[in-house]
Amino acid sequence: MAVYVIVLMTIFLTPLLVNIMVVVLTRPLIATALTAPQASNWTIFILGFATLLAIVVGGIRGPIAPGRFEATLRLQSPQPRWRALGSTALRALLSTTLVLGLAGLIVGIGGSIALNWSMSTVLVSGLAGLGLGLAVATGGLLGQTKVPVLTTGFAVALSATSVLSINYDVFSTAVIVELGLLAFSTPWLAPFCLGRMRTETVLKHSALAEASSALTRTGDWAAASREYRLAPSRGRSSRVLPRRMSAIIPRTPWGLWLSAWRAPQRAYLGIFLIALGALLFGGGISLRDPAGGSPVDFGVLVIVLAAALSLIYWGFGSFSEGLEFAAETAGSVSVFRLSPGVLLARTGASYILLMLMIGLPLTVLLGYLTIGDLTVLRPTLGAATVLGLIQIATARIHSATKGPLPLQLTTPIPTPAGDISVLMILAWQVQAVVCGPVAAAVLVIGSVTTPWWMVGSVVLILLMVRSMQKRLRV
């Protein structure tokens, strides 16, 4: 049945996706970006990042995660581990490879229609998608196995060469070689990883998959993502509030920093996402001056910068546990001799300061690496960037005060068009993303043309602060 549904969706969706790809590739801004000198370097960087992301995600929730009952049966089988888990690994491998291979073929067909690509280029695009699928599937399996030398060494080498491939062709070749080796070694590497798969890892990932799937079906995506948070492993004996710290200095920045680094992998992932967003932000700024672009080009720039700022938004989430603690204590007894409102205000202010200390230097440095000059430090764009980062951090604070999904939103709302309660749940979920990175992208691009757009960012920040105050009163 599942194969039947997948085949039908492929038949009906492929022409639609090809048409969308043709429309996208015919836009002047996209055509200019594809003909830029560094277009191939950016493409290779994206391929390397996708594989690196698969390795990271594999360590949190790998491809070998059947239900707990099925996982227990397979792990207790007298067969070798690679044979007992082979069918599950094969399904994950084939699905990932075929999806990315089809995506590469769609890009190639769209390019042949819109940009007159040759048939050989279309075939190369499809084969590149298949190779990337193999590399991504094997990378996820490698991340789940957690062989220290192999996993860490390959991840560090791939991340370094991917970042350097943006400006240096020799590292682009290195990324292609690394991905090729990973893809071609799948027949040997997959059994090796399955044979060293730990029982506790498979059971843990299976339990997390079941819990997150149940929460996802209820519509509470934030709670589903929190299931994958890593348990603290460091800093258990460190004090959150040092004895000799002056009472004048806010005490919460150290607590935010410590709470993040108690789970080092999560903090590393957050900094990596912030750096990646800064790279993409610099790439979006360097595409074209939005003042002279058409409305369609303005929309494309908004999409690029919204994607960049969304990565920064998700990176900021690695440091938000202190905010959630401050929000959860609202309405209860005073903590650290501070009322809930004062504790949240100090925590929020310290959080914004900490995020600026992390995000702003990365944005300037990696923006310089991408653009080639200090465009980000120009007065108007610099002020808009700082306001955008503050707006994203405020959106994170706003999201932390939401709490769990209200039961009232799950009440069915029957209409002639059907039950629209799912729209209310969707609006509740994406509220922080819309008020944060999406709105910040529009305001940053608008501020390049007219600095008065920054007033809109200030107004939106004040509205989110007002909304948080109302939530604390309730």
Interval 184-199: pLDDT, tens: 988 888 888 888 888 8
202 close to 145: Cβ distance less than 8 angstroms: no
Phi, psi of 338 (to 5 degrees): -125, 140
Interval 408-454: pLDDT, tens: 777 777 777 777 777 787 777 777 778 888 888 888 888 777 788 88
Of 101, 95, 99, 96, nearest to 125 by C-alpha is 101
Which has the higher per-residue pLDDT, 373 or 3? 373
Amino acid symbol at 214: A
50 close to 132: Cβ distance less than 8 angstroms: yes
Q: Indicate the pTM of the whole model.
A: 0.76
Q: Give CA torsion, residues 93, 94, 97, 101, to 10 deg.
A: 180
State the residue for tokens 């800064």: 278
pLDDT of residue 250: 42
CA distance 347 to 365: 27
Average pLDDT over residues 364-383: 75
Average pLDDT, the chain: 79
Q: How confident is the model at residue 327 (pLDDT cuts 50, 70, 90)?
A: confident
190 close to 89: Cβ distance less than 8 angstroms: yes
CA distance 251 to 375: 35
pLDDT of residue 179: 92
Of 278, 279, 275, 292, nearest to 32 by C-alpha is 292
* Token pair of 274 as six digits: 């912030």
84 close to 106: Cβ distance less than 8 angstroms: no
Angle, vertex CA 386, rays to CA 350 and CA 41, nearest 5: 115
pLDDT of residue 357: 85
Interval 184-237: pLDDT, tens: 988 888 888 888 888 888 888 888 888 888 777 777 777 777 777 777 766 666
Question: DSSP letter at 232?
Answer: P
Q: How confident is the model at residue 135 (pLDDT cuts 50, 70, 90)?
A: very high
